[in-house]
Structures are given as C-alpha cells and as structure tokens.
Structure 1
Amino acid sequence: MFVVTNQEMRAMDSYAIDTVGIPAMVLMENAGRAVAEEVAAFGEGKLRRWAILVGKGNNGGDGVVAARHLIEAGYSPTVIYIEDPVGWKGESATQSAIAASFKVPSLIYHNGIIDWRDYDGIVDALLGTGIRGIPREPYAQMIRGANDSGLPIIAVDIPSGLNADTGEVSEPCIIAERTVALALTKRGLEQYPGAEYAGDVVVRPIGILQEWAEMLGVNTYMTDAVMFLKRFGFQPDERKRRQDSNKGTYGHVLVAAGSRHMSGAGLLCAKSALQSGSGLVTWALPEKLLEPMIGTVPEIMLMGLNDSGTGNWSGISAQSLIAVSENKRSMVIGPGMGRWEGDRLWLHDVWCHSSCTLVLDADALNMLADSDFDQWPRRSAPVILTPHPGEMARLCGLSVHEVQRDRIELARGFAKKDGVIVVLKGARTVTAEPNGAVTINTTGNPKMATGGAGDVLAGLIASLIAQGFPAEQAAVYGVYLHGEAGDRAAAARAFSRSITAGDIIDEL
C-alpha cells in the first residue's frame, strides 16, 4: 500500500528503535533472514553457491546476516567484503564478528579476486537506500563485474546505484532479477527506469508495521486491494449496481472533443464513458461533423454546436458549450479538439462559468500550457488534468527528461500549487491530489502505448465521476481500471505487438 522515500524509511526505523523499543540488531536480523529465505527460494532452491557482495553500511549488515542463515539452511554462501570489516562500527560490525565466529567463508575484495564461475548467483548488499550519485571505486568495479558475470542477482532493499527516491539509475547500477524490499517498497523501485533494474520486487516484513507509515506522514501509495479498501472503502473489483437503479442513477457525461481531422478522439472518449458505466453520454461536437457521426455508436447522444461551417471548434462559442454542460456531472474537454486563435480565452470562460467537474486532456492541456494558468481562479468543482510526459513538460516549462526525473514530486507539487488533480500518464502512471497524496498505478502494459488510449482514459475517469465517485477516487480508480482493461486485452492478443484503444474499451 505505502511507498516510501529513504528519509521516510529512516523515520520509521527510528520510530521502531527509539519509541517502540525494537533493537536495531533485531531489525537487521529479521531483514537478513528475509533475504536468505528469498535467496533460498530463488530458482526452486537449485542454486546453492552464492556470492554475497557486502558494503560497510546497514545494507551490508543485512547481507552478512543472510549469509549466516543460508549456511544454516545448507547453502554455500561466500561473503565478499568491499573492504576489511575490521574498524567497522555499529550493527554491521557486530554481524561481521558473528559471521566470523560462525566461520562464514569470506573474502576482502580487490581486483581479480572474484572468479564468478565459482558461484550460482549473487546477492547485492553493497549500497543501501541512502546513496546518491555515481558509485565510487571499488564499488563501481564490483557492480560492473556482477552485471557482466551473467549470474542472477538478488538485491537487498534496492539495487546498488539506483536512486531510492526517484528511480534514476547511475552508471554503473546493479541489474537485479529480484529485489527484496525490506518493510515497505521504495519509490525508486516503482518508477522507471528503476523498476526495470529492480526486476521482481518482493516486499518482506521485518517488524515494522505499515500503520506507522501513515502515522509518520507518508502519503504515497500503490494501487492494491488494501489501498482501495483502506483509503476509499471498496475493493477494486467491486462494480455492483443497485437493483432499483435507472440510467439517471449513473449520471450524465458531456464530452467536448473531436474536430474535422480528429473526430476519432471524441468518439473513443465518448464510447469509453458509455462502456464504463455512465447512464447517459452526450458528445458535443462541431455541427458540420454531426451528420457523419450519426449512428456510429447509437447509444451516444450527439449535440452539434454551431461552428460557422468550419467543422472545427474555432467557430464555437464558449457560451454554447457552457449551456450544454448544465446538469451534467462531468465534462471532458480536449481530445482531438485542435487549436485556434483565442482558444486560451475560450477555455478560461468554460473554466470560470461551467459548474461540473472538468477532465482536461490533450489540446485543452496545451491551451493551459500557453496561458497564465497560475493566475486562473480556483474552481468550486474539481479539475482533473491527464497529461502525458510531453504535455506535462509544456505545463511546467521543463524538458521531458526533467519531468521523468522525479514524476512523483513533480506531479505532487503541481497538484498542490494549482489545486487540481494530476494524472501523469506513462509506465506506472501517478495520480497526485491537491492534498499532497500521490498514488502509483500497478496495472497496464507496454502494448497500451497506442494512439487513442489516453482518450479512453479521459472518458473512463469522467464516467466514474458521473457515477458518483469523488474526483480523487475517480482518477485513481479510473487509471487502475484502464490498465486492468489493457492487461486483459493484451492477454487476449498474446502474439500481437500492440493493442488498440478500441480493444481497451471492449474490456472495460
């Protein structure tokens, strides 16, 4: 459920030790035992000889404990110290001395001492979560050697060289097949590129309760059954309907989207809103497009707006859209809408004078990016922005690389500053709320990287709002359901390289 930074994890460690009274040695013992159990289970227990790469910090101490427990279980580990443990301090020094008494085989690293052919696998306990920047020598040399060995690597808490807070990777960085996250998962393990280097992440308890995270102010979450139940009061697979309901029970979505050259975006968005459960969906579109769209999806109501014969939104007044939005619970603006002279003022009018919840996507986001958005008034009704990294870069005046460097904090800062909900799309989409909470999504797959998938998401979120979900819940739940539908579509097309936006709609 919770995802923590290095600082947050340290605060939880301190609380466990200083307030609860759990000795640090007990936490390290629990951590090392958990790692040993994962190592023993890896490869169905057939890999017996393990090189335990040990740094001088607490991460290294966890590795030393793991080696001792592996010996007890009948395995053949060798501890390879990055430097002589004589002179170490704290719990790691104590564990090193205990390992010596147990006669755990060990080496002190220097260039050429490791023959990787002597081992079946590697445990990375070199650098912990607090490391920043590029690993120095001899750590860098050992990391390169481990990666080049061709052996499977299991990382303790986090792969060495990976930023625990952002997911940025240094050169070099351990490429793990599995990471044993201790107590809670770390942000860097759940955001790319870090998630790729971490491999399969397994969270193991060590005596620190999840409840302490909330008490200590952690407000970054992962979408799982526990999170939905504890934060929102329902399970993600609960989609029941009342027996005495009718179409009015499930709300009315307005989709303002599509233009002469991009009518499909509006159609996908409206169809998604309908398929995901809205009682009524109206698609507002330029009048010239009305006739070609009639009957395309007969269940969608079409509302042609006077476009002065252009087939585009440039001829449609903001007042006409505002009038249509009356009595609607939510409105999507932007997919396939295009840009025109004066569009920023047009959107500002809709922003100020419409009363329903807004979901702004695609071209509407680009209008915001070109405006003095920071000066716009706060709306009484919620606003959800659904940018991809390029759109987020324009909104923030940054490069895409800068956006991707720390997606969680960037989205959080924007949401808090402007009082909006931000759905920053991409692998592991993050949803940031004005109160500072951020949720990392766990569903979805690379086959969803296809045109129109974002239009489907915008319609889905608006549909959930119309059905009565609070905007924050609708955003988080919508992203989750969108990815889940994409996973089902991908599984049904196992041999295709991609799925289509229509495939995702079919699985909603």
Structure 2
Amino acid sequence: MHVVTSREMRELDRYTIETIGIPSIVLMENAAQAVAKEAHAHAQGQLKNWLILAGKGNNGGDAAAVARHLSEWGHHVHVVYAESPQFLTGDAAIQRDILQKLGISVTKYQPNTLDWRSYDGVIDGLLGTGTKGAPKEPYASLINEANASGLPILSIDIPSGLDADTGAVGDPCIRAVRTVTIAFMKRGLVQYPGTGAAGETTVAAIGIRPEFADRLGVRTFLITEGTLKERLGVDPTLPRNKDTHKGTYGHLLVAAGSRRMTGAGLLCSKAALRTGCGLVTWAVPDSLMGPLTGHLPEVMLSGLPDAGTGQWGSVVPEALLSLADGKDAVAVGPGLGQFEKGAQWLQTLWEGAECPLVLDADALNMLAGVINRWPVRKAPTVLTPHPGEMARLLNVPVREVQANRIEAARQFAEAHQVTLVLKGAQTVIATPEGAAYINTTGNPGMATGGAGDVLTGMIGSLLAQGYNATQAACAGVYLHGQAGDQAASRRGMNALIASDIIDAL
C-alpha cells in the first residue's frame, strides 16, 4: 500500500483528472459516498443525528456531499460551514448549491451557539491535506468545541489540524475515533502523534489507482503481507524446499554480549535460529565461554582472546574479522559495550568484512560521528537505531528525528548507502535507493529490554539466508512485530518480555 505526501496527492489528483479523464466532481462523489458508508456503518443500523463540519476547500465539498448521502439514507443532518458558504468555488460550490436545492439544513458557524447535545456524532470536513500549521479562527474555536463535545468524530481524509506529511498535531487538532482517508494513506496518519489523533484509519478507493502512484514515482509504502509478497517477493511464512540441508539456510556470525550483558547475545542468537538460519556462530570474549556453555546448545560458541577481561575492548578486531570469513552475514552490537577506540575497532570490520552486516546498539554508538568519514561498504549494510541512537548518528536532538521519522531515515540511508531501520512505533525502513517502508505490526508491550536484540538476530538471519537487505529488514521488522502481537495476546502487554517474542516466532 502506497503512502503519500500532500504534494504527491495533489499530483495524483491532477494526473487522474487531466490525464486519465475522471472529472474532479466524480472523485468527490466517490469520496463522499465512501465516508457516508463508514458513518452509516458506525450507526449500526440506527438513524442518527449528524453534525457535519465543512471548511471552504474540497474537504468542505466532500462534507456537503456526505451530508446529502446520509440524508438520502434517512439520517438527520445539519451542515455547519466554518466560513460563509457564499465564497465557495468550484466543486465545493456545486455541492453547496445541491444542499440548498434539497433543503438540507445549513448554517454558518457562530462560536458557542451549537447545541452539541442534540447530535449523535460529528463528521469533520474542515481542513484538508494542504493545511500547514495550527488552525486559525474560526476553525480553532470550532475544533475545540467539537473535541469538548465528547461526541464520536469521523474525519474526512485527515483530522483537521493534523500535518498530513509529518503527523504533527496543531493546537488544536480534531481527535477522531475514525478517519476515512481518501485514495491513499497519508504519511501523517502513520507517524505519531498523528496516528493517535486519527483513531482507526481506513483508506477509501475513489478511482485513483495504485499504478498511478507507481507511475508518478511514489516510493513510500506500508508493510503488509501483501507488500511483502507482491512488491518485495517475500513469503512471510518463509517456506522451505524439501531437498535442502542446514547449509542451504546460511551461516550467521553474531558478535554480541559482554560480561554484564551476556543476555543480549543469547537473545540475538536464539532469534536468528528461530527465524530459520541454518547455522549460528556466537562470538564472545573468551572469558565468557565457560559461563555460557550449554545455555543455547543449538548455537556454536566461539571464544576470542580477551586477556581475561570478558570485554570486547580487549579483543583485537582482526580476530573477529577472521571468524567472519566464510560466513553469510554478521550481526554486531547487542550488549557489546563501549570502549576506548571503539570506532577504530569497528572500522576494521566495516571495511574488511565482505558479507552483509547488521549493526545495532553499541556498534551504532561507535559509528556516530565517524560514518561520514568512512567509505561506503560494497556489501549490504543494515543499521537498526532507536530514536536516541539515530539522533547520535545525525548529531541532532531526538525531537528532530521524531518530528519527521520517514525523511530522517530516508535521507540518512541515501547519503550513506545503507538500509536503515528506525525503530519505534511504526518502525521505518529506508533503503539506499530512496524508498521507505512503514511497519504495521507490533504493540507497546514490545518496549522492553532485549526486544531490539531479537530484531537484530532476525534481520541477520534473513540476510544469511540470502534475502537482500530490503527484504531482510522489512520482513524481519514485520515478523518481529507480528510475533510481539501474538505474545501480547497470550501474556498481556505489561507482562511481555523479549524471550516471549522469540517463543512466538
């Protein structure tokens, strides 16, 4: 499923109208009917009193047409225009005139005069995707009254006051229980806090086909099962052929865990095996070999000389590089710890390893501040930062990363020719070619220590099995979230721990 910016949506509208030849009023009618059907379904077979809020643009035209359809189906409707409807133009004016001829109740908004108690629900058609910044009067007052009413609000396209591109919410912003977005998902609806303001979101097909978005170069997508299968060529069940052996499914080297954080390497290695990797070698400082032996019998432990410290800072990087020889992928970082000359240590692996590489946690902290000076790797490279690590990589505040997660990830991935997994609610995967994918699985219970280590093992496993970096990152994130959802359904979100995610794979 494509995800569009406000500019891309305008281009798609123009293409559909001017090149394909579907008149704009037809698109408006299709949109309005889809929204009206959602409102009718919300009423659960009962006839309701709807207060319909209309702005001066096409959103207001949509709202007027919604009122007409609901009225035809027997609902009671009253349309309130935020501004005088006499100044409407184009399709919005046509819809206004139809309401007048049908005798549907219409008024211009006057602050604090509406009797909200006489309505069962509100339809928000005040502001559309082209609006930027906080709503001004009279829209601000009308939005505040709508929110204060306590009535369920259904928004057309986006909640009024929401930035369609970033998900930023203005002061004020409609708090909808449901949003029917038109033609394509908007970026602001899949980034927080916008996702929260929109409530449950559905996409209404109105005649602007997905292939139009491909033709116009839209390169942002939601990760669904369909996206994995049809766009990325990945069957999320990860099926196996009958005539295979363990070597068929790759050999992953995991460099993770230190004296105080051995669990990170254990989770990473076990997740790699559960995701289907044929062989996993877990490299650790040699002093940890004894305590770890037998904890995960399916993994091959490999101790590297550490001068008895149990810390990676005492392991020469060439020893790890030598161990990486012949492996199908390497995962580095979970529980690694930070140490003096860590960046120099990591650079040996960055430049010397010829296989795909996934970096997480402390490896990302080593990378911060130096990646701009390092050469682009020839082999695929996946970075998996959380927002704090991403902020360090970019040398900006976390709030700047979170203000536009999609663009932060995309720009970094293109600049450094890596596949970047920006973790968090609605994890974003950005590719070196400039595409971005937004995950649809997962839940707040996964905000728990070790969940990221599990993801690193999963992505590393898929890389070792021969999936390309985009496939491995997108499938890994999707399956990680899906397992988290299954674990939460069994345990509850508050009780969920990282090993529960592995158990649900």
What's the counterpart of residue 446 of structure 1? 444
CA distance in 2, matches of 1:301, 1:407: 38
What's the counterpart of residue 280 of structure 1? 279
CA distance in 1, matches of 2:461, 2:66: 50
What's the counterpart of residue 354 of structure 1? 353
Higher mean displacement: 496-505 or 357-366: 496-505
**Which amino acid in 2 is paired with 1:340?**
F
How far does residue 89 in structure 1 lie from its aligned partner after superposition?
Answer: 1.1
**Which amino acid in 2 is paired with 1:101?**
K
CA distance in 2, matches of 1:235, 1:329: 21
**Which amino acid in 2 is paired with 1:219?**
R
Q: Is 1:162 the counterpart of 2:162 in the alignment?
A: yes
What's the counterpart of residue 2 of structure 1? 2
CA distance in 1, matches of 2:441, 2:248: 28
Please list every run of 5 or more consecutive structure 2 residues that lacks an aligned counterpart in the other structure.
none
Q: Is 1:504 the counterpart of 2:491 in the alignment?
A: no
**Which amino acid in 1 is paired with 2:306?**
D
Q: Do 1:134 and 1:161's aligned partners in 2 also have CA atoms closer than 8 Å? A: yes
1:55-94 Cα offsets, whole Å, 9 max, x none, are 0000010000000000111101110011111122111011
| Identical positions, percent | 55
Q: Do 1:489 and 1:499's aligned partners in 2 also have CA atoms closer than 8 Å? A: yes
Q: Do 2:343 and 2:370's aligned partners in 1 also have CA atoms closer than 8 Å? A: no
Q: Do 2:317 and 2:349's aligned partners in 1 also have CA atoms closer than 8 Å? A: yes
**Which amino acid in 2 is paired with 1:95?**
Q
What's the counterpart of residue 366 of structure 1? 365
1:229-275 Cα offsets, whole Å, 9 max, x none, are 22122443x32111111100000010001111111111110111111
> What is the correspondence of 1:6-45 to structure 2 with a 5 Å cutoff?
6-45=6-45
How far does residue 103 in structure 1 lie from its aligned partner after superposition?
Answer: 0.9
CA distance in 2, matches of 1:167, 1:265: 33
What's the counterpart of residue 309 of structure 2? 310
Secondary structure of 1:423's counterpart equals strand
CA distance in 1, matches of 2:235, 2:305: 44
CA distance in 2, matches of 1:47, 1:123: 15
How far does residue 218 in structure 1 lie from its aligned partner after superposition?
Answer: 0.2
How far does residue 45 in structure 1 lie from its aligned partner after superposition?
Answer: 3.3
Q: Is 1:108 the counterpart of 2:102 in the alignment?
A: no
How far does residue 190 in structure 1 lie from its aligned partner after superposition?
Answer: 0.8
What's the counterpart of residue 339 of structure 1? 338
**Which amino acid in 2 is paired with 1:90?**
G
CA distance in 2, matches of 1:192, 1:246: 44
Secondary structure of 2:113's counterpart equals coil
What's the counterpart of residue 417 of structure 1? 415
Q: Do 2:234 and 2:471's aligned partners in 1 also have CA atoms closer than 8 Å? A: no
> What is the correspondence of 1:75-224 to structure 2 with a 5 Å cutoff?
75-224=75-224
Secondary structure of 2:85's counterpart equals coil
Q: Do 2:123 and 2:154's aligned partners in 1 also have CA atoms closer than 8 Å? A: yes
CA distance in 1, matches of 2:481, 2:469: 18
- Number of positions where the alignment pairs a residue of Structure 1 with one of Structure 2: 505
What's the counterpart of residue 327 of structure 2? 328
What's the counterpart of residue 67 of structure 2? 67
What's the counterpart of residue 260 of structure 1? 259
Please list every run of 5 or more consecutive structure 1 residues that lacks an aligned counterpart in the other structure.
none
What's the counterpart of residue 230 of structure 1? 230
Secondary structure of 1:86's counterpart equals helix
1:463-482 Cα offsets, whole Å, 9 max, x none, are 01111111110000000000
CA distance in 1, matches of 2:43, 2:246: 53
Secondary structure of 2:36's counterpart equals helix
Secondary structure of 2:77's counterpart equals strand
Secondary structure of 2:86's counterpart equals coil
CA distance in 2, matches of 1:147, 1:366: 43
Secondary structure of 2:309's counterpart equals coil
How far does residue 207 in structure 1 lie from its aligned partner after superposition?
Answer: 1.1
How far does residue 349 in structure 1 lie from its aligned partner after superposition?
Answer: 0.9
1:331-351 Cα offsets, whole Å, 9 max, x none, are 111110111111111101111
Higher mean displacement: 411-420 or 78-87: 78-87
What's the counterpart of residue 301 of structure 1? 300
Q: Do 1:286 and 1:306's aligned partners in 2 also have CA atoms closer than 8 Å? A: yes
- Runs of 4+ in structure 1 off by over 6 angstroms are none
**Which amino acid in 2 is paired with 1:459?**
G
Secondary structure of 1:468's counterpart equals coil
1:139-181 Cα offsets, whole Å, 9 max, x none, are 0000010001010000000000000001111110000000001
CA distance in 1, matches of 2:480, 2:499: 12
**Which amino acid in 2 is paired with 1:25?**
I
How far does residue 198 in structure 1 lie from its aligned partner after superposition?
Answer: 0.4
Secondary structure of 1:181's counterpart equals strand
What's the counterpart of residue 468 of structure 1? 466
CA distance in 2, matches of 1:68, 1:42: 17
**Which amino acid in 1 is paired with 2:503?**
D
Cα distance, 1:47–1:491 mapped onto 2, change above 3 Å: farther
CA distance in 1, matches of 2:125, 2:88: 16
CA distance in 2, matches of 1:191, 1:410: 13
CA distance in 2, matches of 1:402, 1:45: 46
Q: Do 2:47 and 2:74's aligned partners in 1 also have CA atoms closer than 8 Å? A: no
What's the counterpart of residue 385 of structure 1? 383
1:13-65 Cα offsets, whole Å, 9 max, x none, are 00011111111111111111111111111141336100000000000100000
CA distance in 1, matches of 2:228, 2:453: 24
Q: Do 2:5 and 2:186's aligned partners in 1 also have CA atoms closer than 8 Å? A: yes
CA distance in 2, matches of 1:219, 1:359: 23
CA distance in 2, matches of 1:426, 1:56: 37
What's the counterpart of residue 269 of structure 2? 270
**Which amino acid in 2 is paired with 1:414?**
F
**Which amino acid in 2 is paired with 1:149?**
S
1:180-199 Cα offsets, whole Å, 9 max, x none, are 01111101011111001100
What's the counterpart of residue 406 of structure 2? 408
How far does residue 225 in structure 1 lie from its aligned partner after superposition?
Answer: 2.7
How far does residue 112 in structure 1 lie from its aligned partner after superposition?
Answer: 2.0
Q: Do 2:54 and 2:63's aligned partners in 1 also have CA atoms closer than 8 Å? A: yes
Secondary structure of 2:166's counterpart equals coil
What's the counterpart of residue 395 of structure 1? 393
TM-score by length of 2: 0.99
CA distance in 1, matches of 2:291, 2:308: 14
Considering only aligned residues, what root-mean-square deviation do their CA atoms show, in Å?
0.9
Corresponding residue to 2:486 among 470, 485, 488: 488
Q: Do 1:359 and 1:386's aligned partners in 2 also have CA atoms closer than 8 Å? A: yes
1:291-328 Cα offsets, whole Å, 9 max, x none, are 00000010110000000111101110110000000111
Secondary structure of 1:50's counterpart equals strand
Higher mean displacement: 21-30 or 429-438: 21-30
Corresponding residue to 1:429 among 427, 430, 442: 427
